[in-house]
Structure formats: C-alpha cells, structure tokens
Structure 1
Amino acid sequence: MTAETVRSKSADLPPIAFIPATTDDIDRLVDLKVLVMRGELERLGRYTPERARDKFVARFSPDRTRLIDLDGRFAGCVTFTDHGGHVEIEHLYLAPECHGSGLGSRIMGVLMDEARALGKPIRLTVLNGSPANRFYQRLGFVETERDPIDIQYIWTP
C-alpha cells in the first residue's frame, strides 16, 4: 500500500493522507488507543495498560492499517479489512484534538466509498455506552447485535 491522499470536497479543509503502517508504528498506535479509549474502558472495568497493549498488538496488522496524516501531522489510524463477504473497521482512533472537527466523518466517507466500490457492507464493533455509537448511527450504521460490553453494527451500500 502506498500513501493515498484524499482531497476534501471543501477547498478550505486540508487533505487527508493515508500512509501505510509499519511494525515500527506499534508503540504510537497503542499510545493513541490508550489515550482515546482509556476512559471508556475504565468505565466498563476493562482497562489495564497491559490488557490495552496486548489486545491491540494481538490484532495489529501493518498491511491492513493506515496512518491518518492531516496536513503533515499524525491524526490517527484506521484498520480496514476485507473479509470476503464484508469489510470490517477494526480500529478507528483519532487524536483527541481532532475529535469534533469532522475528520471522522471525512474518513468514514472515504471508507464507505471503498466499500461501495467493492459492493460490500461494513461491519464494526463499538463499546456499549460510547459516544461513538451516535457517530456511527448518524452515518447509517444499524445495530445487529448487543452484549453487555459491545454493540455490533453494519452499514450496507
């Protein structure tokens, strides 16, 4: 995978570049996950630094992970995996200073366009009670399953 620049529909917004992750990125990606998710995981009684790292590292695949570069600065990461019948967003973490900026919607627009081009639905899982649930629902994701910890969603093009 090579760097891919995504131009915004609005000229006043900086372009997003997706840069392929490498194994050297693991520490900063774990740090970002902890920074973004710690409060939610603590609320559920599921946070320890070791657990957060181990869970991320166990599923980390550089070839499926894209770093998000916004105007020359690291803004987050996304893992987007084709499973044959569907694609899955396993991780989408944005730096806290990017929250509420519209960046997440722009990134999801690109991923939804990719899924649409493949003719495949997108599946993802969100922590129960997380504000991210409202975000995905606004984008048209529909709940398919729920347990005390997670909610599974699907979006169909």
Structure 2
Amino acid sequence: MADWELRLASVADVEAVAELRAVVLRPDLERLGRYDEQRVRQRLRDGFTPAHTWVIEVGGDAAGCVALRPAKDAYWLEHFYLDPDLQGRGIGSAVLSRLLEWCDREDAVVRLNVLQGSSARRLYERHGFTVETEDEVDVFMVRHPFVQLAEAVDPRAERVRAPSAGVSRPGARPVTDDSRRSSCRTDFA
C-alpha cells in the first residue's frame, strides 16, 4: 500500500474534488441512467464543506477526498472518492478504518448512502455497515460503534479494535509528535 495522508480541505479544493466525483461516479451513474455531466459536479459544489472534508494525498499528490459531516444523531460519511488508478490498493480501506476508529472512540453512529450496484458497498460492509433502507438509486447504510471488550470481564479477551495513536477529533490541529505518526498519518490526528 502506498503512503497516504489526509489534510483538511480548503475552498480551493472544490473544483478538483468535483472533477474527481464526476470521474469516480460516472460508471455507476451511467449504469443507473442518471449521469449528468454538470449535475454530478454541481451537487458536490453545493454540499462542499471544507471544515468537514479531507483531501487524501498519495505521494504528495491529491488522490481523493472524504467528508465526515456531523448531524443530530450521527456523522454522515460523504464524498468518499479515490482516484480509480489507486483503487484496490488498500488506501480507501485504511482511510475508512482511521475515520471509524475515531468514531468508535467518540461512540458515534456513522451513516452513508451508496449507489445501487456500486462496488463501494462491499467496502462499507467489510467495515461493519449494514443496510438501513434502500430505493431504486441509493442504499442507505449505518454503522454503530464497536464496543471494546472489557478486560475485567474476561482477561483473555482481545479488543475488537485497538485505538489508533494518531486520531483525535476531526478539525483538530495536526499531530506534531513524530513518534505518534505512521506512514498513514492523518492531519485530523
């Protein structure tokens, strides 16, 4: 897997992210008969919130993005796109794991929607998302936080997920202690 980092998005990233969305979603939207060259980009522009969005960088270049938008009872995982040339290399899974580890520590529910027939659904299912509802276009999924097994109850029990040393509240300052960084560090860490 290539080294990757997340950096907080800025307003200047919106057009690159809109273009990436169009490239990534085109096959699924065309299959569903819903691809519109302008609309696919405009929907991203209309919902782009830099404060809740990170750009995925691989080798120092922008290669994807992901948003984690707070809502009343959950976080919404949105705009999770990775350059098609980098898909299948474990980067998306690693980014998602890092975000979900933070959500688990916050005891936060995460929701998302994915297009019907999208291969991304398998990624989400591998990370604990289950189908809540669906329609002819979208599948709405939810993931409840993993509970750590109490060692006091069974000292032989292993944790379901070990906490990551480099994750804290999204939007927080970057970690400055290099001993806490990995090759897959995040800037919301």
Is TM (by shorter chain) over 0.5? yes
| Structure 2 residue aligned with 1:120 | 108
Aligned length: 145
Distance across 2 between alignment mates of 1:127 and 1:14: 27
The alignment yields a C-alpha RMSD, in angstroms, of 1.2
Distance across 2 between alignment mates of 1:84 and 1:72: 35
SS in 1 for 2:139: strand
Cα deviations by residue, 1:29-64 (Å, 9 ceiling, x for unpaired): 111011111111111111111111121111111111
The gaps in structure 2 that reach 5 residues or longer are 146-189
Identity %: 33
1:40 to 15, 23, 28: 28
SS in 1 for 2:73: coil
Aligned: 1:85 with 2:108: no
Aligned: 1:94 with 2:58: no
Normalised by the size of structure 2, how large is the TM-score?
A: 0.73
Rg (Cα) greater in structure: 2
SS in 2 for 1:55: helix
Aligned: 1:136 with 2:124: yes
Deviation at 1:84, TM superposition (A): 3.6
C-alpha contact 2:130 2:141 (8 A) present in aligned 1: yes
SS in 1 for 2:128: coil
Distance across 2 between alignment mates of 1:84 and 1:70: 33
Aligned: 1:59 with 2:47: yes
Return structure 1 stretches of 4+ with deviation > 6 angstroms: none
More helix by share: 1
Deviation at 1:98, TM superposition (A): 1.1
More strand by share: 1
Distance across 1 between alignment mates of 2:23 and 2:85: 11
